Amino acid sequence: MDLSAINPVLLIASLMVAATPLLLAAIGETVVEKAGVLNLGVEGMMIIGAIAGFATAVESGSPLLGFVAAAIAGAALSVLFALLTQFAQANQVASGLSLTLFGLGLSALMGQSYVGIKPPQMGKLDIPVLSDLPVIGPILFGHDLMLYFGIALTAAVWAVFKFTRVGLILRAVGENHDAAHALGYKVIKIRILAILFGGACAGLGGAYISLIRVPQWTEGMTAGIGWIALALVVFASWKPWRVLLGAYLFGGVTVVQLNLQAAGVAIPVEYLAMSPYLITILVLVILSADKSSAPAALGRNFHASR
Amino acid sequence: MTDVLLSLKGLTKAYPGVVANDTVSFDIGEGEVHALLGENGAGKSTLVKMIYGLVKPDTGEMTLRGKPYAPAEPRQARADGIAMVFQHFSLFDALNVAENIALGMENPPPMADLASRIREVSENYGLPLDPYRTVGDLSAGERQRVEIIRCLLQDPKLLIMDEPTSVLTPQEVDILFQTLEKLRSEGTSILYISHKLEEIRTLCDHATVLRLGKNVGECVPAETSASEMAELMVGSALTPPERGSREFGEMAMDISGLSVPSPSAFGTALRNVHLTVRKGEILGIGGVAGNGQDELLSVLSGETLTANDAVKLHGQPIGKLGPTKRRALGVLAAPEERLGHAAAPDMSLTENAMLTGSVREKLEKNGFLNWAATKEFAERIIKDFDVRTPGPENAARSLSGGNLQKFVIGREVLQNPEVLVVNQPTWGVDASAAASIRQSLLDLAAKGAAIICISQDLDELMEISDSFAALNEGRLSAPRPAAGLSVEEIGLMMGGAHGMEVAHV
């Protein structure tokens, strides 16, 4: 056992990478749930994003194009969910679950010819001087663009909720759709837009796994990150910065346990492997003592009646 | 007559199976308080929804100050100076006052400006409000203020108010009326919907009466008696329930020193509640909605368990017994929420009869259900309580509110309870059905049952109860004999104006 092999700077840098897929998916789902929709299909949208992004990047040679395709694919799959729940009034839980199953199956089919291929690499940020600084350089200035995009998205979602009319209307729709309708807001339209946004974010999160975190394609490679994203949104009390905190915590424990495994700590690998899930949920459960911020209309279908 | 602000001509709106409005025409003058009277289901709400642009009329037209007016959506109606205060508040509990108001405006100013305007306007009309308070924490009267201020900030020409006083104490009603008077003096027209006749007589200049979607008459309320208006509304004279003189027996139910924490974030905690009711007595419990009514009912019915000796039946502690065990002992309850609490919406009436009747009517044996007997029981309820439905196999959801309410009350009354607890027994029920429900409660008490009737309808409580107590913020006032109580005394028992003040302008 040799713990000195673990480099804290690299550890922090890699935990940010490990956290980003989770962060992207969870921020998207936060917006969806704030609008009063519970989309349990995050895992399915992520894996579709993962394969769509991977395939596009491989075919076109551009990882950035891959991310664009992933966002479109995730949003496209969420259209299915939107049709089912917003127009056909289908149950949101059942529709979300079937979306995940559908996404997992479809991605396996789409990805058959991509197993074992290496995708094109995405360039890392390289600012002269800044990126070469010790400690701060690799942590703050040595990542790929998408990682910064994830943090910027968190800030943007927070600001939209807090300061803008769009955010206020979105929260109002999730809080009391009947009242929002009575005031003349288009509940269904707002919810569909939120669902599409959530789908695009989940797609990006999935592509981040297949293009950057583990640059390859394997069937079912999202490995439950979509489910953790769902739990994260709830335990973060629907607050964007808490989602970021939870995602980094998860990423951190994941990276630490991988390092511990490599260092040969005498704890069975299975326990180490489950630790990120356990610790993230435990911490967030403690943090989320006040449940009052749950959108009141979460998971309830809206139908404009008389 | 004054100049006409809004004129309705031949408005008709049909829904599958029912004509909600049938060629309704009338005019609202400038600066006039116009009452729209009618029973539940007379088509009042549909009519104002058409004026507010939420519903499109099938035929007919409206003119606003002589120009054709056909709002496609509420936004457009608001732009034309029509504002509406809703019957069931259209507020968002988790947002604060300013955010709620911003949502109802087209181009709200920045939050800080909006907050100071809210302060200014609310002081001006004698409705003080703190813009940064969370709406979920406000009382019903304050919530209504939020809605009114939201309308006033847009300088409306016509303010539509849909049953604004149903959630207010008498003192709060006074404050509201002063605000409306001030608005009228400034030239704002008000369309006032209510079925409370005395209110309309004090406030309104003109009244239009709707019955079954048709305009059946107009009158000047100040010159028309309440009973004449009631006849117009119902179409026939009403017989008030009869209360025979009754002897009260021994103590039936006894609650002492009961405190229960609030079950949810926006619920109410019960604080040190004392209550006794004797056999043959009807105890009326008044109070504005959200002051602990639901919580009290669930303590009495056994949905919320308490310390064992806090609730006693004939001196025996039952605080730790659940609803089924209490039913076996004769404590039955009919909660307020018809669909979802009192009845399972998608189950048939027979199944719903089974749900509460299985214990006392012995519809269940060794885990097997006796459907034949249950069907008979359901049919008996339908017959005895004049429930209008094709048969007991119909889903509870398919019944109208009043008919389902008759079924729900009848189901409990026919099980011969020793103690019956009802919450809002005639809420949303038309006048004749309400009268028959009240009569059945009186008859039940005459047979020796103790009845606790929780209601927000003070007229109803005065009509049937022997003693009266009021719930205010989870506290129950000491019960007093109902005969001879004045409206002011009742208002004070309900907490007065909840610290709200009248405008001194």
Of B75, B92, B99, the CB nearest to A179: B92
pLDDT-derived band at A247 (thresholds 50, 70, 90) equals very high
Quote the minimal CA–CA distance from A193 to chain B in Å: 19
Within a 10 A sphere around the Cβ of B340, how many other Cβ atoms?
A: 11
In chain A, the percentage of residues whose pLDDT exceeds 90 is: 50
Q: At residue A306, does pLDDT exceed 50? A: no
> Tokens 């459960």 correspond to what residue?
A285
Q: At residue B464, does pLDDT exceed 60? A: yes
Task: Select the residue from A165, A183, A288 to test the B interface by mutation, using most B Cβ atoms within 10 A.
Answer: A183
C-alpha–C-alpha distance, residues A191 and B457, integer Å:
39
* Res A282: pLDDT: 83
Query: Per-residue pLDDT averaged across B56-71, rounded?
Result: 89
Locate A133 and state its tokens. 């600084």
What are the φ/ψ torsions at residue A149 (nearest 5 degrees)? Answer: -60, -40
C-alpha–C-alpha distance, residues B425 and B455, integer Å:
7
Residue B177 burial (C-beta neighbours within 10 Å; 0-12, 13-18, 19+): middle
CA atoms within 13 A on the CB side of A90: 16
- Asked if B505 and B126 touch (Cβ cutoff 8 Å), the reply is yes
Q: At residue A305, does pLDDT exceed 70? A: no
CB-based contact A183 B95, cutoff 8 Å: no
Same-domain check for residues B212 and B92: yes
Query: Per-residue pLDDT averaged across B273-283, rounded?
Result: 91
Rg (CA), chain B: 24
Q: At residue A298, does pLDDT exceed 90? A: no
CB-based contact A175 B92, cutoff 8 Å: yes
Q: At residue B166, does pLDDT exceed 90? A: no
Q: At residue A288, does pLDDT exceed 80? A: no
Domain presence at residue B383: no
Task: Select the residue from B56, B87, B103, B150 to test the A interface by mutation, using most A Cβ atoms within 10 A.
Answer: B103
Residue A236: closest CA among A24, A21, A30: A30
Least confident of A104-113, A116-125, A164-173, B232-241: B232-241
Locate A94 and state its tokens. 């059942």
Same-domain check for residues B86 and B200: yes
Q: At residue B238, does pLDDT exceed 80? A: no
> Domain ends where: B234, B260, B287?
B234
* Res A47: pLDDT: 96
> Domain ends where: B179, B213, B234?
B234
pLDDT-derived band at B2 (thresholds 50, 70, 90) equals low
How does strand B282-286 pair with strand B467-472?
parallel
Residue B182 burial (C-beta neighbours within 10 Å; 0-12, 13-18, 19+): middle
Domain presence at residue B400: no
* Res A31: pLDDT: 96
CB pairs A-B closer than 8 Å: 56
Interface of A with B (CB under 8 A): 165, 168-169, 171-172, 175-176, 178-180, 182-185, 291-293, 295-296, 306
Per-residue pLDDT of A179-234, as tens digits, reads 888 888 899 999 999 999 999 999 999 999 999 988 899 998 988 899 999 988 98
Q: Look at chain B and report how many structural domains it folds into.
A: 2
Residue B158 burial (C-beta neighbours within 10 Å; 0-12, 13-18, 19+): buried
Q: What is the ipTM of this complex?
A: 0.77
Selection from A10-19, A90-99, A291-300 with the highest mean pLDDT: A90-99
Q: At residue B413, does pLDDT exceed 70? A: yes
Query: Per-residue pLDDT averaged across A15-32, rounded?
Result: 94
Q: At residue B502, does pLDDT exceed 60? A: no
Same-domain check for residues B318 and B200: no
* Res B354: pLDDT: 92
Same-domain check for residues B170 and B80: yes
Of A183, A292, A296, the CB nearest to B90: A183
Higher-pLDDT residue of A147 and A134 is A147
Q: At residue B310, does pLDDT exceed 60? A: yes
CB-based contact B95 A168, cutoff 8 Å: yes
Residues of A with Cβ-Cβ distance to B95 under 8 angstroms: 168, 171-172, 175
Higher-pLDDT residue of B60 and B400 is B60
Q: Which domain holds residue B88?
A: 4-234
Per-residue pLDDT of B76-108, as tens digits, reads 888 888 988 876 667 888 888 999 888 888 778
Same-domain check for residues B276 and B164: no
Same-domain check for residues B54 and B185: yes
Same-domain check for residues B178 and B119: yes
Q: What's the distance, Cα to Cα, between the start and end of chain A in Å?
A: 70
- Report the C-alpha dihedral over residues B185, B190, B196, B197, rounded to 10 degrees: 60
Residue B28: closest CA among B59, B74, B63, B54: B63
Same-domain check for residues B134 and B209: yes
Please state the pTM of the whole predicted model: 0.73
For the domain that residue B484 is a member of, what is the CATH number? 3.40.50.300
For chain A, the domains span: 3-287
C-alpha–C-alpha distance, residues A46 and A222, integer Å:
7
Angle between helices B140-152 and B111-124 (to 10 degrees): 110
Full DSSP string of A60-129? HS-HHHHHHHHHHHHHHHHHHHHIIIIIS---HHHHHHHHHHHHHHHHHHHTGGGTTPPPPPPPBP--TT
Q: At residue B376, does pLDDT exceed 50? A: yes
Least confident of A105-109, B15-19, B472-476: B15-19
CB-based contact A182 B74, cutoff 8 Å: yes
Residues of B with Cβ-Cβ distance to A178 under 8 angstroms: 90
Q: At residue B120, does pLDDT exceed 80? A: yes
Q: Which amino acid is at B300?
A: L
3-class secondary structure, B277: strand
C-alpha–C-alpha distance, residues A92 and A83, integer Å:
11
CB-based contact B103 A176, cutoff 8 Å: no
pLDDT-derived band at B390 (thresholds 50, 70, 90) equals confident
Which CATH fold would you assign to the domain A3-287? ABC transporter involved in vitamin B12 uptake, BtuC (1.10.3470)
* Res B498: pLDDT: 59
Same-domain check for residues B151 and B298: no
* Res B504: pLDDT: 44
> Domain ends where: B215, B234, B253?
B234
CB-based contact A169 B103, cutoff 8 Å: yes
Higher-pLDDT residue of B480 and A306 is B480
Q: At residue B505, does pLDDT exceed 50? A: no
* Res A209: pLDDT: 94
Q: At residue B328, does pLDDT exceed 70? A: yes
Of A168, A171, A182, the CB nearest to B54: A182
CB-based contact B95 A171, cutoff 8 Å: yes
Q: At residue B136, does pLDDT exceed 90? A: no
Q: Provide CB contacts within 8 A for B202, sequence distance 6+.
A: B177
Same-domain check for residues B318 and B463: yes
Within a 10 A sphere around the Cβ of B470, how many other Cβ atoms?
A: 26
Residues of A with Cβ-Cβ distance to B265 under 8 angstroms: 291-292
Same-domain check for residues B251 and B180: no
Q: Which amino acid is at B65?
A: R
Residues of A with Cβ-Cβ distance to B345 under 8 angstroms: none
Same-domain check for residues B229 and B140: yes
**Measured between CB atoms, does B109 come within 8 Å of chain A?**
no
Per-residue pLDDT of A255-273, as tens digits, reads 888 888 888 888 888 888 8
- Asked if B405 and B425 touch (Cβ cutoff 8 Å), the reply is yes
Q: At residue A275, does pLDDT exceed 90? A: no
pLDDT-derived band at A291 (thresholds 50, 70, 90) equals low
Residue B33: closest CA among B172, B262, B193: B193
Residues of A with Cβ-Cβ distance to B99 under 8 angstroms: 168, 172
* Res A181: pLDDT: 87
State CA A226 to chain mean position distance. 7
**Measured between CB atoms, does B95 come within 8 Å of chain A?**
yes
In chain B, the residue whose alpha carbon lies closest to the alpha carbon of A290 is: B265
* Res A24: pLDDT: 96
Domain presence at residue B19: yes
* Res B503: pLDDT: 42
Full DSSP string of A176-205? -HHHHHHTT--HHHHHHHHHHHHHHHHHHH
Domain presence at residue B447: no
Q: At residue B265, does pLDDT exceed 80? A: no
Angle between helices B371-384 and B349-357 (to 10 degrees): 100
What is the edge-to-edge ordering of all strands in the sheet holding B189-194? B82-85, B158-162, B189-194, B33-37, B206-211, B214-219
Per-residue pLDDT of A125-139, as tens digits, reads 777 777 777 777 777
- Report the C-alpha dihedral over residues B427, B433, B439, B444, rounded to 10 degrees: -70
How does strand B82-85 pair with strand B158-162?
parallel
CB-based contact B15 A175, cutoff 8 Å: no
**What number of residues does chain B have?**
505
* Res A43: pLDDT: 95
**Measured between CB atoms, does B60 come within 8 Å of chain A?**
no
Domain presence at residue B372: no
pLDDT-derived band at A2 (thresholds 50, 70, 90) equals low
How does strand B364-365 pair with strand B331-334?
unpaired
Distances (CA, A) of B448 to A76, A124, B237, B275, B444: 67, 85, 30, 18, 7
For chain B, the average pLDDT equals 85
